[in-house]
Amino acid sequence: MRHVKWAVVMLGLAVVALGAGAVQGQQLSGEYKIGVLEPLTGNLAAEGKRHLEGYEIMRDLINERFGGVMGKKLVFVTGDAVDPTVAASEATRLATREGVKIITGTFSSTLCGAASEAASRQNVIYWETSCVDPRLTKRGLKNVFRTEIDGTGFGWYNIEFIAKHLAHRLGKKTSELRVAYLSEDSSYGQSVTESARQRAKQEFGMEEVALEYYTFTTNDLTPVILKLKNANPDVLHHIARNQDAILFWRQAREQNFQVKAVVHAGATGYGSPDFGKAFGNDGNGPFALLEPGPGLIVEKMRPEGQQIERAFRQAVKAKTGSDVPTGGHQLAGGGLWLLKLVLDDCTDDSYCAADVAGGDATAAYDELAGRLRDGPVTLDFVTSTGDVEQRELTLNDLELAMDYALTPSADRMFLQRAIAQASQGELQPLADLVYSALGQDPDSLAAVPDPTWSDAMYFSVDCSDYAYGSGSAEDRAAAYFAAGQDAGVGRDFAQHSGQGGDHLVVVPARQVGAPDRALEQNVANDRKPLVRIEKNDASGRVAGTVQHVQHKVADPHLVAFLEPAVGLHVAQAG
């Protein structure tokens, strides 16, 4: 292949440049355990292990030099996410058996969807530091967070680089550039590629001469290379993982496929040290958008940012012998550092901590959760008319309030206040938050109808277009349904006249009590239910409500997957 000057396009990890808040040698009290989920075996093991190594390096720095997490020693319990099914199973294990409240990982866009959904079902926080699938944070899961750019951003910046830095060096206007797109076919490759294609065509008028997707485990890319060679592009936009990038580079040289520039995005493929190890100087040529490399000017950071950045790079060198952290190291280390700052924030903030008994918001929450785990707590609830009624709060209520209030900043503020007041013995603010989450009037417990929201679908149905099983889209959709049926979960889709789509309607299947009947009223009543689903939580409260949602099943990727672990009952509505 024709070589161009080697370069790395740097995407700064601002999170590692944030303030370092504690002094070296601070005495730690107790432990704080989180789950770390990575592909440690299988096709993604090389990057998964590198990612885990980045976590471990940053964890040791946090414990030894930066005051731990909330004054406690940060400890890991790990899980091996070899594929999406195992990722979901391991996330569930970490939450239920290991008792972690936070799970981080999973490096891969093929794993993060299944892992985060499983974590959400257990009401634990999922903190993603690498996966770039744009769908991760667009599914309405309130306890899922990401510290990395997504694939849409990768594609956008790749075209920015081609238009502003490559075109004139190739002696062409952007509208004269011939671009071929090649990519592995997971959500990572597709999201980057489709974003790049759209911007290249619509904003710069670049000519698309080829588009090819392949499975990254393939052992022969020769047919694809011959197609690309025939297309004669100026620029090849190639999104690859590891072995497929090495395979392509080797076979392209064998087929004498020459292109003026290869552009990539991500810490895998051409952005991985494995590519350089495979070819040495013969691997020079690709332009890769990834984390900061040798050109990072640490001196431009604020003093506290310089402190943590230098400490991290020194620790990486001591561990690996390399002067420059890999992308996987930086993604994991930066994401974990940001998590530390978030966890420390409330306890460190004097105004917030002053309101909490003992000055530690996390400890206050753990103490409250421990009390509720032993059984419901009774409180005197004061209504708006001044009447006092005895009510109960359960552990399920607390977890519901947490889930409800995690995302909107205003709700998080109310949650912090509620936990602070609960630590002082005042539970009414927490009860108010629970009623708000349930859609109930705090005085009467009657439903406050919201036709735009479906509680039953939120609690009972996961709609996922992540890959399940293998084969074609139809095969994967069939595998979803088969898995549900094998677990005893039924399904029924029925066309609803005049709506132009399929509908799945969810209602409680058993008789409900007076407090629960308020939930039953929270429904748009313009059509008859088609399916009944029962879901009971630990306290016996019916979590589902009489609801309906429009559910498109024309795309076989988008299917309803009913969680079998909560005892769903499905029957034809009368």
Q: Give the tens place of pLDDT for each residue, 20-38.
A: 444 455 688 889 999 999 9
Tokens representing 214 are: 């392949």
Q: Per residue, what are the HEC states of 439-488?
A: CECCCCCCECCCCCCCHHHHHHEEEECCCCCCCCHHHHHHHHHHHHHHCC
Find the mean pLDDT for residues 83-110.
93
Q: Do domains 7-149+297-347 and 152-290 have the same CATH topology?
A: yes
Distance (Å, whole) CA 262 – CA 239: 10
Q: Which of 2, 221, 37, 194 is nearest to 114 (CA)?
A: 37
Structure tokens at 72: 């406690």
Does 429 have pLDDT greater than 60?
A: yes
Closest of 335, 258, 262, 263 to residue 54, by C-alpha: 335
Beta strands in 319-430 (DSSP E): 377-382, 388-393
Residues 197 and 181: beta-carbon distance below 8 Å: yes
Strand-strand pairing, 494-495 and 502-506: antiparallel
- At 18, the pLDDT band (50, 70, 90 cuts) reads very low
Mean pLDDT over residues 235-258, rounded?
96
Instruction: Band the pLDDT of 358: cuts 50, 70, 90.
Output: confident
Q: What is the distance between the alpha carbons of residues 565 and 487, in angstroms, rounded to a whole number?
A: 9
More confident residue, 249 or 365: 249
Query: What 3-state DSSP class applies to 353?
Result: helix
pTM: 0.62
Is the distance from CB of 463 to CB of 560 less than 8 angstroms?
yes
- What is the average pLDDT across 278-301? 87
Structure tokens at 348: 């460190």
pLDDT digits (tens, 9 = 90+) for 497-530: 233 333 333 333 223 233 333 333 333 333 333 3
- Per-residue pLDDT band for 440 (boundaries 50, 70, 90) equals confident
CATH number for the region 152-290 comes to 3.40.50.2300
- Out of 115-124, 246-255, 441-450, least confident range: 441-450
pLDDT by residue (tens digit) across 28-75? 888 999 999 999 999 899 999 999 999 999 999 999 999 999 889 999
The answer to whether residues 101 and 125 touch, using CB atoms and an 8 Å cutoff, is yes
Strand pairing of 7-10 and 31-38? Answer: unpaired
- CB of 20 closer than 8 Å to CB of 300: no
Asked if residues 437 and 399 have their Cβ atoms less than 8 Å apart, the reply is: no
Residue 503's CB is within 10 A of a number of other CB atoms, namely: 19
Residues 6+ apart with CB under 8 A from 14: none
| pLDDT, averaged across the chain | 77
Looking at residue 492, its pLDDT comes to 35
Residue 114: closest CA among 99, 135, 142: 135
Task: Give me the pLDDT at residue 351, please.
Answer: 61
* Residues β-bridged to residue 1: none
Q: In Å, how far are 314, 455, 514 from 522, measured between CA atoms?
A: 57, 9, 14
Q: What are 188-233's pLDDT values in tens digits? A: 999 999 999 999 999 999 999 999 999 999 999 999 999 999 999 9
Q: Residue 206 has what DSSP assignment? A: P
Q: Could you check whether the bond before residue 217 is cis, i.e. omega within 30 degrees of 0? A: no
3-state secondary structure 499-515: CCCEEEEECCCCCCCHH
| Burial class for 267, CB neighbours closer than 10 Å (0-12, 13-18, 19+) | buried
The matching CATH number, chosen from 3.40.50.800, 3.30.750.24, 3.55.50.30, 3.40.50.2300, for 7-149+297-347 is 3.40.50.2300
Could you tell me the residue ranges of all domains in the chain?
Answer: 7-149+297-347, 152-290, 351-438, 455-572
Q: Which residues pair with 556 in a beta bridge?
A: none
